[in-house]
Amino acid sequence: MIDRPPVAPGSFLAGSLPDLRGGFLPLSERLFRDHGDVVRMRLGPPRLGREITLIFTPEGARHVLAANQANYRKDNVNYGEVRYAIGDGLLTSQDETWQRQKRFLQPLFTHRRVAGYAATFGAETDRMVAEWQGAAGEIVDVHEAMTRLTLRIVCRVLFGNDVDVALPVIQRWFDPLSDAVRRRAFMPVRIPHSWPVPVNRLIHRGQAVMFGLCDDIIAARRASGQVSEDMLGLLLDARDDGKSLSDAEIRAQVLVFLLAGHETTATALTSAIYRLGAHPEVQERLRAEVAGLPGTPTAEQALGLSYTMRVLKETLRLYPSAPNMGRRAVADDEIGGYRITAGSDVLVSPWMVHRHPAHWPEPLRFDPERFTPEEEKARDRYAWFPFGGGPHTCIGMHFSLLEGAVALAGLARRFAFESPAEQPRYESQVTLRPADGMPVRITHREAVTR
């Protein structure tokens, strides 16, 4: 009989919960250092709490996400909470429901379609350029700015001309709703959704507002009979075997795109700008690539920016926006020589795999050259997997890389970045984000050369 993975020592009553106070990512790093590639931890009291198995290798990630993915389902607490709050869209759905949704949604994310969204990526980037126009060495919280930028982008892509109605409501309600979902996901002991505690009230209120907004816009679109080219229009118009998506299904997809599609790209852009500001030689090389552009790049121009793309990929290595991916094991299995028991909560960790010294020499060094085509080809496919893998690979991968390249190039053409000497802290509450904002000194390039 093979052994179960080593278990992190913790307190008898709370397990590793007290260690979580220092953050999930530092705890993962310690567990990897002390116990190796596969490790278990308990959160909360024995039997009542949760036990999680953390997987830190490319082989383990491939096994869970692709090779044996049928055994690893999105039946865990986190995905359950998302499903409850916003409906069962493509991020949480499984089996036939997921297959059906995927058939409807894939055409919205083809390279041709995404290239069509790039004008919006560019227009919103130009808006940010105008906002920073007079910058002459001011410290800006780049995380706040990038979150605003990517939220405006995804809202405009989704809602088109209805963006002015949708954006203020989403800006007011979406973050509190997703924070409440995260809070419930991290509770050591499950409580029913029906209990009138503050976190549940917030979820129900946020849900009512967001559902109401989407339902009103969908109803108005259906009533007008007009076909529009924004994503919502495409969703309303989508057909599979002559059938269309129901209004509730459309609403769930819209909310999933909002949830999965703005904070992730915002954190990637924030971290890329921070890294440019910390590595003048990388910033200079990227600037040399974008300096000759006539303006913020179009889709075609952005796709040709190979160094900018390498910077983004290396950023996503060190700061993967989804630092962990969770599943629940259906049947007993084996990973890395250890027994995974049926019902286990499993987390594969891009955060640690992307820093695994067996796959990344000097893992903490920021070096875009790791992403030359030759280097990429020589590496294990699952040594770098910020967009996941297997059938549930991120549908927005090309969208967000193109959005990132357009925005980063558009901003770096115009501005010089200088980052503070101290390393920023990151926290992982499902998605990655800087714990204390991201202050970066920004100077308009004309001010530099004056």
Pairing of strands 338-340, 333-335: antiparallel
Two tokens, residue 88: 């069962």
Tell me which H or E stretch contains 168.
helix 163-185
**411 in contact with ligand HEM (CB under 6 A):** no
Structure tokens at 176: 């509190």
Write out the two tokens for 442: 């920004």
Say whether residue 405 binds ligand HEM (CB under 6 A). no
**Of the listed pieces 190-198, 243-251, 362-370, 387-395, which binds ligand HEM according to CB under 6 A?**
387-395
Q: How far is the CB of 198 from ligand HEM (least distance, A)?
A: 28
Residue 417 binds ligand HEM, judged by CB under 6 A: no
For 99, 212, 230, 346, the CA distances from 92, given in Å and listed in that order, are: 12, 21, 23, 16
Least distance in Å: CB of 158 to ligand HEM?
8
- Exactly one of 8, 142, 235, 325 binds ligand HEM (CB under 6 A); which one? 325
Q: How far apart are CA 32 and CA 327, in angstroms?
A: 19
The side-by-side arrangement of strands in the sheet containing 439-444 is 136-141, 439-444, 415-418
**Could you tell me which residues are beta bridge partners of residue 338?**
335
Task: Give yes or no for residue 388 binding ligand HEM (CB under 6 A).
Answer: yes
Binding mask 77-116 for ligand HEM (x = CB under 6 A): -------------xx----------x--------------
Rounded Cα–Cα distance for residues 141 and 62 (Å)? 37
With residues binned 3-state (H G I as helix, E B as strand, rest as coil), the percentages for the chain, rounded to 5, are 55, 15, 30
Query: 186-225 mask for ligand HEM (x: CB under 6 A)?
Result: ----------------------------------------
CB nearer to ligand HEM: give 55 or 260.
Answer: 260
Closest CB 116 distance from ligand HEM, rounded Å: 14
Q: By CB under 6 A, name the one of 64, 238, 268, 406 that touches ligand HEM.
A: 268
> Is residue 303 within the footprint of ligand HEM (CB under 6 A)?
no
Considering only the stretches 48-56, 283-291, 295-303, 390-398, report the one whose residues sit in contact with ligand HEM under the rule CB under 6 A: 390-398
Tokens of 149: 């930028």
Fill in the amino acid letter for 198. Answer: P
First to last CA, the chain: 72
431 bridge partner residues = 429
What b/e string do you get for 419-431 counting C-beta neighbours within 10 Å, with b at 16 or more? beeeebebebbbb
* The one among 256, 352, 405, 407 contacting ligand HEM by CB under 6 A: 256
Alpha-carbon span 352 to 225, nearest angstrom: 50
Contact between 392 and ligand HEM per CB under 6 A = yes
252 part of the interface to ligand HEM, by CB under 6 A:
no
Size of residue set near ligand HEM by CB under 6 A: 22
CB of 357 to ligand HEM, least distance (A): 23
Binding site for ligand HEM (CB under 6 A): 90-91, 102, 256-257, 260-261, 264-265, 268, 321-322, 325, 386-388, 392, 394-396, 399-400
